[in-house]
Structure formats: C-alpha cells, structure tokens
Amino acid sequence: MDRKIGQNAGFVPTRHQAPGLSPGAMPLMPGSSTPSPAAASIAQDPLEAMVATLEEDIVFGRLHPRERLVEDDLMGRFAVKRHVVRDALAALDRLGLVERRKNVGAVVRSFSVQEVTELYEVRGMLETEAARRIDMQRVPAHLDTLIAIQQQHDTAVAAGDARTVFRVNVAFHRELFSLCSNQTLQKAIAEFARQTHPIRFASLVSPEYRERARLEHWRMIEALKAGDIDGLVALCASHLLPSRDAYLHAQQYRS
C-alpha cells in the first residue's frame, strides 16, 4: 500500500508531540470530545465502577496475587451494600481476576509458570494468525481510527498515566484485530487478552515498557500502511513477550 491516509501517514510522533487525553481522563472515542459509552457507563453504575476499579488495582499490582478481598473492607471502601460487593466479586471471578475459595473467600488470582507460559503461547498463536488474516482492503477505512487511538496512547504514555495507557492499549488492539474478518477469532483474542490482564502489572508500571509498546504500535501502523503482513506478524509476536517475562521475573522474587 502506498496510499497515504490522513495527515499522520508516515509519521511516528515522539512522546511529547501527540495530542490526546489529559492525565487521568477516560479514553475518548476517536474524533470525539466526550468519553466513550463504556466509560460513561462505568462512571454511572456503582457495580461497574467497583469492578473496573478492582480490575485496575489487580492489573497495576495494588492488589497482589493471593491477596484476600474482604467483603466488609470493600463495603466500607466503596460505600455499597454486601450484595453489590458479592456481585462484584462474582464478576471478577468470571473475568478470571479472582478465585473464590471455600472457607477463605475471594483472593486475587495467581498464575503458575506453566499457566503464564501457556496463556501467552495461545495468545501468540491467535494474534499472529489474526494478523495474517487481515483484509488489506479494509485498512484504509480503519487507519485513521487506529492512528487516533494511538495518539491517545502517546499522550497517556507521555503523561505517565498508566491507567489510561491500559485502557487505550486495549482499544488499540481491539481496533487492529477488527481488521481480521473472522469474528470468532476476534472474540478469542479478546478473551485471552482479558485473562492475562492480571499478569501485565509488572510491565504496565514500567515507563520503559510503556515507551517500547508505544513505538511498537506505530511500527504496526507503518506495516499496515506498507502492506507488510510478515512484518506485522513478527511485531505482534514480539509485542507479547515483555509482559509475560516481567510477570515471571516478579514472581521469582515474590515466591
């Protein structure tokens, strides 16, 4: 592909050149000045807000693997009734973020070396296959949206806003893999990415990793514009490894 899409074609901004989110802001829909519907829903619904906050606590390591989530403590923290806490814990269980154990209650999920290795192996197979199956005829219609999302990611990285980095990173990969026409494959990618959210904390809190991921996203965009599927596949494969390795390294010290 040699067609230039929008003003950003062929342009990889530095950390301080991209417009986008202010620190702490919710991710915006591309081209919009208001939060996405999902963000607005989280802001309004106490249960969803509680689940989103606890998810971020787990993702960023504020809650550690095997740490117990006490119902009374959560009721006080979020000013909600017990049934809301139990619904939130059930939701986190379904998301694979916590485990509920008999006579113990809910604890933050921990992963063995084998589980981490296998999860990332499956993610690698799914995401590289999706990259191979990208319909290049659909790329021009989606590229401006992908660039707009990445500009938000740039701004969050520059601001050191790990929370927004996490949320916008999810949006970037969702938009990227939407270019694969196999919707079942898209759903499988989203499911396994979600299962590895708790594994990613060691890399998300690292400015070096966030900057590396930011640059790799722009290289993925450049590969799409060039029609370089082999290059995109290689980028998707290598992009997964730092978060896997950071979690395993952190677990060595925690064990």
Neighbours of 25 (CB within 10 A): 17
Residue 30 lies in a domain: no
pLDDT for position 37: 42
> 102 with 132, same domain?
no
pLDDT for position 205: 74
- pLDDT values of the chain reduced to their tens digit, one per residue, 255 residues: 433 333 343 334 443 333 333 333 334 434 333 344 444 444 458 999 999 999 989 888 889 889 999 999 999 999 999 999 999 999 999 988 999 988 889 999 888 899 999 999 999 999 999 999 999 999 999 999 999 999 999 999 999 998 899 899 999 999 999 999 999 999 999 999 988 888 877 677 788 999 999 999 999 999 999 999 999 999 999 999 988 888 888 776 655
CATH number of the domain to which 189 belongs: 1.20.120.530
Residue 3 lies in a domain: no
Euclidean distance between CA atoms 77 and 98, whole angstroms: 18
Euclidean distance between CA atoms 82 and 109, whole angstroms: 21
pLDDT for position 8: 40
User: Angle at Cα 53 formed by Cα 210 and Cα 196, nearest 5°?
Assistant: 50
Angular region, 111: left φ>0, alpha ψ -120 to 50, beta rest: beta
pLDDT for position 144: 97
User: Angle at Cα 136 formed by Cα 132 and Cα 139, nearest 5°?
Assistant: 115
CATH number of the domain to which 79 belongs: 1.10.10.10
> Using an 8 Å Cβ cutoff, are 89 and 45 in contact?
no
pLDDT for position 24: 36
pLDDT for position 253: 62
Residue 167 structural domain: 112-254
Euclidean distance between CA atoms 240 and 237, whole angstroms: 6
> 60 with 138, same domain?
no
Give the burial class of 21: count Cβ atoms within 10 A of its Cβ; 0-12 exposed, 13-18 middle, 19 or more buried. buried
> 162 with 242, same domain?
yes
> 44 with 67, same domain?
yes
